[in-house]
Structure 1
Amino acid sequence: MARITAGVASSHIPALGYASDFDKTSEPYWTPAFAGYEWTRAWEAEQKPDVVILVFNDHASAFDMNIIPTFAIACAEEFQPADEGWGPRPVPVVKGHPDLAWHIAQSCILDEFDMTIINEMPVDHGLTVPLSMMFGKPAAWPCRVIPIAVNVVTYPPPSGNRCWMLGEAIAKAVASFPEDLNVQIWGTGGMSHQLQGPRAGLINKAWDNAFIDKLEGDTQELRYIPHIEYLREAGSEGIELVMWLIMRGALGKTTRMLHRHYHVPASNTAVGHVVLQPEQE
């Protein structure tokens, strides 16, 4: 059967994509941010996942105010890099896994999650930057990718608890898929940042690191953080961290942290990155 073998979380800061695309990663400003991913790149080369379920949010590339799905799963054969105003990023086309994606969609819907099914969707930096951070600049991405888009742009976003529960439903779906697949689930976005208003540039190192601490072990504290705390402590865009909770919920009761990385600054936010392994229950 298919199995979720690991969870990965990472910021998806667009400037990281710029630094990668234009070979600026060895510049002093960017070196510390990228150094924290070197361990993961070597680890991913050893793990060789067949499929990555990649949880991200769209930035008005695929969706706008005309349609705002809370949870959407993309089931197509492939996804083109989006044009975010400067042309598409020079990265490979993202290849999907329709069979597993449709299976997850069916299982989650029957598990009482109202998933929006997408069959055509350009993917922006929310999805392609994490792939670049984990895999570098290959001619083709080394695994299939199932994009799951979450609304964290327009209020109300889903609660942390609902995201955790979706992770549990995804894990159940994967475990019932008959093909032998090594599956990872990634949660992206964050960490603390605010892009507008009097608090633009807000970064809360203490809160970010406390959040990372609670991803390991068997605590479920994070699922009950209210929206107002994300807003107050992590800024208006800090709500993206609920997407990490889909990843964490999919890993089961207890996790072990294999790697963590936190760096400030990178553009006007903090870089957060962890690799988690589910512990046998």
Structure 2
Amino acid sequence: MAKISASVYTSHVPAIGAAIDNGVTDEAYWQPLFKGYEYSKEWIKENMPDVVLLVYNDHATAFDSNFIPTFAMLTGEEFKPADEGWGPRPVPNVKGHPELASHLAQSLILDEFDLTVVNSVDVDHGLTVPLSLMFGQPEHWPVKVIPIAVNVVLYPVPTGNRCYALGKALKKAVETFDDDLNIQIWGTGGMSHQLQGPRAGLINKEFDNNFLDKLASEPEELARTPHLDYVRLAGSEGIELVMWLVARGAMDDNVIQKHRFYHVPASNTAVGHVILENGKQTEEL
């Protein structure tokens, strides 16, 4: 059967993608950030999955205020990089896994998650930046990707508890798929940041590191964090962290933290990154 072996958590700051695309990752400003992903690039080479379930949010590119699903499963064969106003990122198209995606959608809907099924859509930096951070600049992405979109843009957005429960339902769905697939689930977005208003540029290191402290060992406590705490303490866009709870919910209760990284700032955002594994403890690379 299919099995989730690991989860990856990372911010998806658009400026990170621009730094990669424009070849400025060695500049003094960016060096500390990209150094935090050096371990991750080696780790993924040794732990290459067949499929990545990538939990992300669309930034008013594919969805807008006229139509924005709470949860959407993207079931298509291929997804192109979106034009977010300055042209599409020069990265490969994302190859999907329609058979597995359709199975997951059916399982989740029968598990009473009112999921939107989307076949054709372009994907923005929320999805492509994490792929670039982990895989660099390949000619083709080395894994198939099933994008799972979560609304964290237009209120009401789902609770952390609902996202955590979605992760558990995804784990159950994966394990009822007959093919022998090694699957990872990635949670993206965050950490603390606010992009507009009087508090634009807000970063809360204490909030962020408390979240990172509890991600592996106390995820149920994180899942109970109310929306107001995210907004007040982590900024209006800090709510993106509920997407990390989808990925954490899909993992075993007891996990091994392989890597943790935190950096301020990248653009006007705090960047967090964690790798968790199910199974036996191994040494870091």
Tell me the number of residue pairs that the alignment of Structure 1 and Structure 2 aligns.
280
Within-5 A mapping of 1:175-186: 175-186=175-186
1:57 equivalent to 2:47? Answer: no
One-letter code of the match for 2:82? A
One-letter code of the match for 1:200? A
Q: Give, in whole Å, the separation in 2 of the partners of 1:54 and 1:172.
A: 17
Q: Is the CA contact 2:219–2:248 (under 8 Å) kept in the aligned structure 1? A: no
Identical residues among aligned pairs (%) = 65
Q: Is the CA contact 1:50–1:182 (under 8 Å) kept in the aligned structure 2? A: yes
Q: Give, in whole Å, the separation in 1 of the partners of 2:217 and 2:240.
A: 22
Residue 242 of structure 1 is matched in structure 2 by 242
1:121 equivalent to 2:111? Answer: no
Q: Give, in whole Å, the separation in 2 of the partners of 1:34 and 1:245.
A: 24
How far has the Cα of 1:65 moved from its partner?
Answer: 1.2
Corresponding residue SS for 1:220? helix
Residue 228 of structure 1 is matched in structure 2 by 228
One-letter code of the match for 1:19? A
Q: Give, in whole Å, the separation in 2 of the partners of 1:217 and 1:64.
A: 36
Corresponding residue SS for 1:265? strand
Q: Extract structure 1 runs of 4+ deviating beyond 2 A.
A: none
Within-5 A mapping of 1:33-182: 33-182=33-182
Give CA deviations for 1:219-273 in whole Å, capped at 9, x if unaligned.
Answer: 5210100000000110000000000000000002122211001000100011100
What are structure 2's unaligned runs of at least 5 residues?
281-285
Q: Is the CA contact 1:217–1:256 (under 8 Å) kept in the aligned structure 2? A: no
Q: Is the CA contact 1:218–1:254 (under 8 Å) kept in the aligned structure 2? A: no
Q: Give, in whole Å, the separation in 2 of the partners of 1:164 and 1:71.
A: 13
Q: Give, in whole Å, the separation in 2 of the partners of 1:146 and 1:83.
A: 20
Q: TM-score, normalised by structure 1?
A: 0.98
Q: TM-score, normalised by structure 2?
A: 0.97
One-letter code of the match for 1:92? P
How far has the Cα of 1:278 moved from its partner?
Answer: 2.4
Corresponding residue SS for 1:104? helix
Corresponding residue SS for 2:164? helix
Corresponding residue SS for 1:149? strand
Q: Give, in whole Å, the separation in 2 of the partners of 1:219 and 1:55.
A: 17
Q: Give, in whole Å, the separation in 2 of the partners of 1:103 and 1:67.
A: 24
Residue 191 of structure 1 is matched in structure 2 by 191
Corresponding residue SS for 1:197? coil
How far has the Cα of 1:277 moved from its partner?
Answer: 1.2
Mark the CA change 1:211 to 1:34 in structure 2 (over 3 Å): closer, same or farther: same
How far has the Cα of 1:48 moved from its partner?
Answer: 1.3
Q: Is the CA contact 1:168–1:252 (under 8 Å) kept in the aligned structure 2? A: no
Give CA deviations for 1:195-217 in whole Å, capped at 9, x if unaligned.
Answer: 01111000000110110010112
Q: Is the CA contact 1:251–1:278 (under 8 Å) kept in the aligned structure 2? A: yes
Q: Is the CA contact 1:74–1:146 (under 8 Å) kept in the aligned structure 2? A: yes
Q: Give, in whole Å, the separation in 1 of the partners of 2:235 and 2:48.
A: 35
Q: Give, in whole Å, the separation in 2 of the partners of 1:222 and 1:254.
A: 15
RMSD over aligned Cα atoms: 0.9
Residue 206 of structure 2 is matched in structure 1 by 206
One-letter code of the match for 1:162? R
Residue 275 of structure 2 is matched in structure 1 by 275
Q: Is the CA contact 1:164–1:248 (under 8 Å) kept in the aligned structure 2? A: yes
Residue 32 of structure 1 is matched in structure 2 by 32
One-letter code of the match for 1:209? N
Q: Give, in whole Å, the separation in 1 of the partners of 2:219 and 2:133.
A: 28
What are structure 1's unaligned runs of at least 5 residues?
none
Residue 21 of structure 1 is matched in structure 2 by 21
How far has the Cα of 1:218 moved from its partner?
Answer: 5.0
Q: Give, in whole Å, the separation in 2 of the partners of 1:50 and 1:35.
A: 26
One-letter code of the match for 1:217? S
Q: Is the CA contact 1:218–1:255 (under 8 Å) kept in the aligned structure 2? A: no
Residue 283 of structure 2 is matched in structure 1 by none
